[in-house]
Structure 1
């Protein structure tokens, strides 16, 4: 903690030791959910795991017959490049989980390194990183973004470390990180570029830095990214699908929804308490942003306001700015509380927020071990090579107001692509994002990015009462698919003459589709 007034160096050193010890303990327990759960209960995670199986088994006798691997020069490939290599040494499941753990380690250590480079000590960044370790984008399972953001923190720290050094070394480091971030996740590259661009802009008014030097530094910063985009254009690479959408009504909501991905109440209470505490500290003058931090704070705020919610087919782009700012800004601010009592109270408060979030994560993830095991067991009742449709028995709502504790089951049936060599239309196969695509025979049925189909719609189609805008992939679902998973609490068989019950669990029902019905 920072000394103030007549506080003795010995007392300050003792307080810092306590804070570092608390930080170390919190960091250790914060990684427990990933270590204790074979399949972390994150919305997108089972879908990513299913794709890792396909990539790892491509070209082997166990390769899935419905999918093919198609690499191209596009970003968002962090886990797609690393996990199959790790799977040479361990199971695909463990390799994917190790990638998630590595992503979390990059987030925490990157935030710590960035603060150490700026201040020469660890103070605020570690607690901010742990508070946001299971924030909404991460608990949804945006694992490539999480990995890329952690890598971006390291890249920003290294760049700042070399900021006053020889320009060739700075250019080399920037080039390496730009290339790595482009491969890992495009939006993380954007965060890296925006942060360092704002940093360089904040130096323009420095009397010792001529404008031409500042312009040259900005040009050198942008050059590697421009070269990569040029190569992407020449090789017909893409960045996801077309589509840009703004949902301005959600922008005031996200800051209160961000801290916890599973509990709206806990997220709102802890987020509001944290914002009030920061505003109070700023008004009292004990929390201060350095000049570069002011540039960054204004830049992130403007970026959050103007960036679309959906950009290049990537959803929740604006939401991702919030954890990025929360991880970067602590390195550019100082907190000097007036007494040991205030410092210990602040330490207890942020520790409480971290532990509340962690307790909720464990409360959700641990029970899902049985649910995922039941889902995997049900795959043994499916003929290998079958086509499987996924429906939903209820209306879970849409983020940010939905009960996300049920969402980790959303993509669990996609694991059938491994356990039953099956085709599941919901597997992520979007060009520009994933190097896996459905083969020609089933491509018309694939949904590159989408969730379960409402069971009421499936019933209407089967009883010849479909709405006019039925998607092509389910227009004749009772003829195109062999099995149907209906997610949600078990309910009565809606089509007993067409569907035969094979398995029932607390969170799903598996049906076999009778041909000729």
Structure 2
């Protein structure tokens, strides 16, 4: 295994010209690197892989991802206001400087020419394309020529973090890859262009997701550490000044964050030692452990074989990248600015940077064909896993659509849990926010809709604001509803207090089949599906049916 120090190896200081601090040295042309697939074959493989990875998205207009339908409902509200009177009665928008609005800016525009479900599919595929193309482009910037190896990013697009439905972060991961690629391309160019473009990327990444800007920061720090190491023997002062100056594009982050309502969540941080290993496993885990083990074994085995035969080439960026990312990951809290799974999102992003820092020697026809076959097989296994599970889960998706049809337009809907552990299984994730379908189909108020100050632009009008979750918490359990039917919570107030007066329907999630009515005096069963029940509320004073 060889380790090229850079696509543009450093020259002695006498051959370096430019600004003494922000210098842009001129280097000779990079050496010819090992043979690879021709550009048109890489492009064809990219198209084939993208077509394959798109199958589950295109065949499931409402994929069973945790937060996805909640975000999609907000997109519909943005597009529907102010024309929908029921939506306008419940919701309004408060635009502000938020590091979490890229989907809000893109999807409602797409919905103008199509339906909201197709708009969500298009956005999701945009995220996939950005990440895969960003990995390829960063690899090109590092090695000086196109390589087929980064196409291995395609099987990783489906991972446990994607199942959570963090769509703004996913878009930002792709942009972060392009941001570092642009920095690498411009590293030897006049510094004003490099800093201007990097600053622009930082600002856009901020509005994608604050963590996405952090991912770019990790990659850039590793890149400049590698450059600093390569420059040994040159004057220490200019090298250090150039290294420090690389952080200048990130200066807009602080004033943007202070001006944002997100700053009000700056004290809501929680560090947990448990789950760090699980975060790494999320890179390859989706639904079945044996599939993750199989894919990992094939990739690792192929990598070891290629390294032993000196066919695998690793960029010198790899070591500082792993060191910086590892240190940040261990130090990073689980909850940052009230955003959950903050640390566990990092390994997935770093995996794409790692792939971009490798290339393989595919000069032999057998190696080229073998790589193409293995890539397609790996992707087919991963896509097959997702497709099989999503086909099975589409049964409850269809049932949930049928239950929403029983709801009267403009209703107020309370979401409750029958099982406090509901949603922990990856197969349950799509049910967590499924009630938000009623926002799209019936212009309803749903208690679990994301309307958290500092996180989303969606707000709830009074007097309904006191009857929805504005803290992004866990829905109440059935037992909690029963004790607050006529009296408010002892340690309250809680948004579900006196719920028969304030809601028209109750969705009970994670139920057992045939579960009895928990409160026959106040609830009438309207629809029962797999793992959920829909009840109509019998208002106080009305006789039980």
* TM-score, structure 2 as length reference: 0.83
Structure 1 match to 2:83: 60
For the residue of structure 1 that corresponds to 2:228, the secondary structure is coil
Query: Is residue 486–residue 498 contact of structure 2 (8 Å, CA) maintained in 1?
Result: no
User: After the TM superposition, which residues 446-465 of structure 1 pair with which residues of structure 2 at under 5 Å, given as runs?
Assistant: 446-447=468-469, 448-459=471-482, 461-462=484-485
| Cα shift at 1:346 | 6.1
Structure 2 match to 1:354: 379
Q: 1:334-390 CA deviation, whole Å, 9 max, x = no partner? A: 445998777766665554432222112112223444533432333332233322111
1:407 equivalent among 412, 429, 432: 429
Please state if 1:154 is matched with 2:178. Answer: yes
Please state if 1:70 is matched with 2:94. Answer: yes
Structure 1 match to 2:126: 102
Unaligned runs of 5+ in 1: 3-10
Structure 1 match to 2:187: 163
Structure 2 match to 1:8: none
Q: 1:410-458 CA deviation, whole Å, 9 max, x = no partner? A: 1111121232222111111122221012223122222242344333443
The farther-off stretch of 254-263 and 301-310 is 254-263
From the superposition, tell whether residues 257 and 200 of structure 1 become closer, same or farther in structure 2 (CA, over 3 Å): closer
From the superposition, tell whether residues 249 and 341 of structure 1 become closer, same or farther in structure 2 (CA, over 3 Å): farther
For the residue of structure 2 that corresponds to 1:156, the secondary structure is helix
Please state if 1:40 is matched with 2:87. Answer: no
For the residue of structure 1 that corresponds to 2:63, the secondary structure is coil
1:260 equivalent among 285, 305, 308: 285
Q: 1:479-504 CA deviation, whole Å, 9 max, x = no partner? A: 33221112234322222222111122
From the superposition, tell whether residues 182 and 251 of structure 1 become closer, same or farther in structure 2 (CA, over 3 Å): same
Q: 1:14-68 CA deviation, whole Å, 9 max, x = no partner? A: 8998887555433321111112222122111110111111111222244331121
Distance 2:333 2:235 in 1: 35
Structure 1 match to 2:28: none
From the superposition, tell whether residues 331 and 161 of structure 1 become closer, same or farther in structure 2 (CA, over 3 Å): same
The farther-off stretch of 356-365 and 272-281 is 272-281
User: After the TM superposition, which residues 159-308 of structure 1 pair with which residues of structure 2 at under 5 Å, given as runs?
Assistant: 159-205=183-229, 206-207=231-232, 210-234=235-259, 238=263, 242-271=267-296, 274=299, 278=303, 287=312, 289-308=314-333
From the superposition, tell whether residues 131 and 458 of structure 1 become closer, same or farther in structure 2 (CA, over 3 Å): same
Query: Is residue 263–residue 404 contact of structure 1 (8 Å, CA) maintained in 2?
Result: no
2:527 equivalent among 477, 485, 503: 503
Please state if 1:139 is matched with 2:159. Answer: no
From the superposition, tell whether residues 507 and 346 of structure 1 become closer, same or farther in structure 2 (CA, over 3 Å): same
| Cα shift at 1:326 | 1.1
Structure 1 match to 2:114: 90
Unaligned runs of 5+ in 2: 3-33
The farther-off stretch of 341-350 and 129-138 is 341-350
Distance 2:454 2:308 in 1: 46
For the residue of structure 1 that corresponds to 2:157, the secondary structure is coil
Distance 1:212 1:139 in 2: 47
Distance 1:210 1:442 in 2: 65
RMSD (Å) for aligned C-alpha atoms: 3.3
Structure 1 match to 2:438: 416
1:327 equivalent among 349, 352, 359: 352
Structure 1 match to 2:459: 437
From the superposition, tell whether residues 237 and 286 of structure 1 become closer, same or farther in structure 2 (CA, over 3 Å): same
Q: 1:451-475 CA deviation, whole Å, 9 max, x = no partner? A: 44333443455598x9966771223
Structure 2 match to 1:115: 139
| Cα shift at 1:216 | 4.4
2:509 equivalent among 487, 490, 494: 487
Distance 1:167 1:148 in 2: 25
Structure 1 match to 2:5: none
Structure 2 match to 1:385: 410
Distance 2:311 2:493 in 1: 57
Distance 1:196 1:79 in 2: 25
Distance 1:409 1:463 in 2: 29
Query: Is residue 279–residue 343 contact of structure 2 (8 Å, CA) maintained in 1?
Result: no
Q: 1:156-198 CA deviation, whole Å, 9 max, x = no partner? A: 1111111101111111211211111111111111111221122
Q: 1:230-286 CA deviation, whole Å, 9 max, x = no partner? A: 244246553856422222221123323431333344335534664566567668866
Query: Is residue 260–residue 267 contact of structure 1 (8 Å, CA) maintained in 2?
Result: yes
The farther-off stretch of 98-107 and 268-277 is 268-277
Distance 2:294 2:276 in 1: 18
Distance 1:50 1:509 in 2: 21
Distance 1:242 1:281 in 2: 48
* TM-score, structure 1 as length reference: 0.87
